[in-house]
Amino acid sequence: MKSIEAIRADFPILQREINGLPLAYLDNAATSQKPLAVLQAMDDYYRLRNANVHRGVHTLSEEATTLYEGARGRIARFINAPSSKQVIFTRNATEAVNLVAYSWGLDTLKPGDEVLITQMEHHANIVPWQLITERTGATLRYVPLDPQGMLRLDLLNELLTERTRLFAFVAMSNVLGTINPVAELVARAHGVGALALVDGAQSVPHLPVDVQALNCDFLVFSGHKMCGPTGSGVLYGRRELLERMPPFMGGGDMIREVRLDGSRWNTLPWKFEAGTPAIAEVIGLGAAVDYLTGLGMEWAQQREHALVRYAMEQLERVEGLRILGPGPEQRGGAVAFTLGEIHPHDTAAILDAEGIAIRAGHHCAQPIHDFYGIAASARASFYFYNTFEEIDRLVMALDKVHSVLGI
Ligand SMILES: Cc1ncc(COP(=O)(O)O)c(C=O)c1O
């Protein structure tokens, strides 16, 4: 196993200084940093192989296509998809949810049907369902939270009924850190004949995910949160569903035949990939998956767990600091908190002066903040390359924030 120092050396940005101090990057739930292997894969594509995919018979196009489709195969293996045809490239998790909402949802939902989501969703898994239920006349329902930041699963019997067509839920909350019992929730959805969509934006980067073991119908995630580039995301879907679903967007590449009186669609996965895709980004994501596989996702999960446990122990000692969400055993790497009456933006600004990058705001999850009666929180979020020393610096800086601004 590589040392943490060697792993950190793989990430050029982690050598940076901010305001004369070493960068402590604790905003990984927003986006992760990228290792050299990813930067080099993208650089190699642009320098040596840049061409459009699927179209040319010339060498460059064939090389680009091989790299692009090779990444699909590696990503399929990473999540244990039965076939790479079930891995559809999108720009991000948000686009993947929208793909399901506009293709499956618009085609399927009708008045009387229900879509069930939860109060701990990122806006990416709320707003598309608000738009689609409004257009189809279906009803949107929510699983509420309890004060510990866990889902009220005791209410699931009432909320999940034969009217539910889809249960869409987050595997790991980007604010509360809560890890939901995904396989159990999928089984509960299937038990009433509903489909299950899993938002894996925070789980796929941080722990082993096996779509066959989870038995989910859809899984969405973003490349940029798992060492890959922005502009790369994935929708995994059950094959027979994807086969039946109409295209999301029309254009080049997604068709088999276009005539003036109509068109026929391409086969999976290309039916859902209209236009020139994000070729370099997908190749970069393939390299990111190789990198993560090299480290081992079990190892990454354990490392992060140790960091979070330590962070929570230390943070609880800061005067006035209140952590949102459950204890370390039930959560992943995101730790959102409030610090007395101090505005989270002020906290984040003072931390930035110390070289520490955290996030402040509602983290695209306003319903969670509404539940706690607050407008915003500060959030430190960890990845395997973070260190215990960075957590010590965070805690020292927060003590300073409290002593300067604390009321
Ligand atoms: C849980 C969760 N779902 C969805 C998203 C949306 O990801 P993206 O903005 O990459 O589409 C995020 C991003 O923070 C997230 O944390």
Range of the domain at 373: 4-26+297-401
202 lines ligand 1 (CB under 6 A): yes
Q: Kindly list the distances between the CA atom of residue 303 and the CA atoms of 207, 306, 352, 387, in Å, as whole numbers in the listed order.
A: 10, 5, 25, 10
Q: Which amino acid is at 375?
A: A
Is 33 contained in some domain?
no
Nearest protein Cα to ligand 1, atom 14: 30
Nearest protein Cα to ligand 1, atom 9: 94
Encoded tokens for 107: 């085609």
206 lines ligand 1 (CB under 6 A): no
- Best CA proximity match to 398, nearest among 384, 370, 378, 373: 378
Whether residue 209 sits in one domain with residue 336? no
Tally of domains within the chain: 2
Nearest protein Cα to ligand 1, atom 12: 201
Output b/e per residue, 313-329; b: 16+ Cβ within 10 A: ebbeebebbebbbbebe
Q: Given 106, 241, 364, 374, which residue is catalytic?
A: 364
Best of 172, 182, 222 for a ligand 1 pocket test (most atoms within 8 Å of beta carbon) = 222
Closest atom, ligand 1, to C-alpha of 172: 1
Nearest protein Cα to ligand 1, atom 7: 93
Closest atom, ligand 1, to C-alpha of 170: 1
- Best CA proximity match to 248, nearest among 94, 83, 56: 94
Q: Do residues 322 and 149 touch, judged by C-beta distance below 8 A? A: no
93 lines ligand 1 (CB under 6 A): yes
Could you count the other beta carbons within 10 Å of the beta carbon of residue 269?
22
Q: Which pLDDT score is estimated for 55? A: 80
Determine the Cα–Cα distance for residues 3 and 185; give it in Å rounded to an integer: 37
Q: How many residues does the chain have?
A: 407
Best of 92, 100, 178 for a ligand 1 pocket test (most atoms within 8 Å of beta carbon) = 92
Is 172 contained in some domain?
yes
CA angle 37, 43, 49 (to 5 degrees): 120
Q: What is the full per-residue pLDDT of the chain (407 aa) written as tens digits?
A: 899 999 999 999 999 999 999 999 999 999 999 999 999 999 999 999 999 999 878 999 999 999 999 999 999 999 999 999 999 999 999 999 999 999 999 999 999 999 999 999 999 999 999 999 999 999 999 999 999 999 999 999 999 999 999 999 999 999 999 999 999 999 999 999 999 999 999 999 999 999 999 999 999 999 999 999 999 999 999 999 999 999 999 999 999 999 999 999 999 999 999 999 999 999 999 999 999 999 999 999 999 999 999 999 999 999 999 999 999 999 999 999 999 999 999 999 999 999 999 999 999 999 999 999 999 999 999 999 999 999 999 999 999 998 888 76
Whether residue 323 sits in one domain with residue 258? no
DSSP state string for 63-120: HHHHHHHHHHHHHHHHTT-S-GGGEEEESSHHHHHHHHIIIIIHHH--TT-EEEEETT
Using DSSP's 3-state secondary structure scheme, residue 324 falls into coil
Whether residue 120 sits in one domain with residue 219? yes
Determine the Cα–Cα distance for residues 42 and 63; give it in Å rounded to an integer: 13
94 lines ligand 1 (CB under 6 A): yes
Whether residue 388 sits in one domain with residue 305? yes
Q: Do residues 266 and 256 touch, judged by C-beta distance below 8 A? A: yes
122 alpha carbon to ligand 1 midpoint, in Å? 6
87 lines ligand 1 (CB under 6 A): no
Whether residue 60 sits in one domain with residue 12? no
Best of 32, 199, 219 for a ligand 1 pocket test (most atoms within 8 Å of beta carbon) = 199
- Going by their DSSP bridges, the two strands 356-357 and 24-25 should be labelled as parallel
Q: Kindly list the distances between the CA atom of residue 113 and the CA atoms of 152, 190, 246, in Å, as whole numbers in the listed order.
A: 22, 15, 20
DSSP 145: B
160 lines ligand 1 (CB under 6 A): no
Whether residue 334 sits in one domain with residue 252? no
Closest atom, ligand 1, to C-alpha of 94: 11
Q: Which pLDDT score is estimated for 407? A: 61
Q: Do residues 246 and 255 touch, judged by C-beta distance below 8 A? A: no
Is 32 contained in some domain?
no
Q: Which amino acid is at 60?
A: L
Output b/e per residue, 142-154; b: 16+ Cβ within 10 A: bbebeeebbbebe
136 lines ligand 1 (CB under 6 A): no
The distance of Cα 108 from the centroid of its chain, to the nearest Å, equals 26
Is 130 contained in some domain?
yes
- Best CA proximity match to 285, nearest among 41, 7, 84, 94: 41
Which of these three, 266, 293, 320, is where a domain ends? Answer: 293
Best of 281, 364, 381, 383 for a ligand 1 pocket test (most atoms within 8 Å of beta carbon) = 364
Is 54 contained in some domain?
yes
54 alpha carbon to ligand 1 midpoint, in Å? 29
- Going by their DSSP bridges, the two strands 114-118 and 164-170 should be labelled as parallel
Is 65 contained in some domain?
yes
Closest atom, ligand 1, to C-alpha of 225: 10
Whether residue 184 sits in one domain with residue 88? yes
Using DSSP's 3-state secondary structure scheme, residue 8 falls into helix
Q: Exposed, middle or buried by CB within 10 Å (0-12, 13-18, 19+), for 309?
A: middle
Whether residue 248 sits in one domain with residue 116? yes
Whether residue 338 sits in one domain with residue 309? yes
Q: Do residues 295 and 244 touch, judged by C-beta distance below 8 A? A: no
Backbone angles phi, psi at 84, to 5 degrees: -70, -15
Which of these three, 243, 263, 293, is where a domain ends? Answer: 293
Q: Which pLDDT score is estimated for 127? A: 98
Q: Which helix (H) or strand (E) holds 344?
A: helix 344-353
Determine the Cα–Cα distance for residues 4 and 8; give it in Å rounded to an integer: 6
The enclosing domain of 352 has a CATH number of: 3.90.1150.10
Whether residue 368 sits in one domain with residue 268? no
DSSP state string for 258-279: EETTEEEEPPTTGGG--SS--H
Determine the Cα–Cα distance for residues 278 and 301; give it in Å rounded to an integer: 29
Sole residue written with tokens 């692009």: 68
Which of these three, 253, 275, 293, is where a domain ends? Answer: 293
Taking the whole predicted model, whether its pTM rises above 0.85 is answered as: yes
Closest atom, ligand 1, to C-alpha of 92: 11
The enclosing domain of 255 has a CATH number of: 3.40.640.10
Residue 188 gets the label, from left (phi > 0), alpha (psi -120 to 50) or beta, of alpha
Q: Do residues 360 and 376 touch, judged by C-beta distance below 8 A? A: yes
204 lines ligand 1 (CB under 6 A): no
25 alpha carbon to ligand 1 midpoint, in Å? 18
227 is catalytic: no
DSSP 331: B
Is 106 contained in some domain?
yes
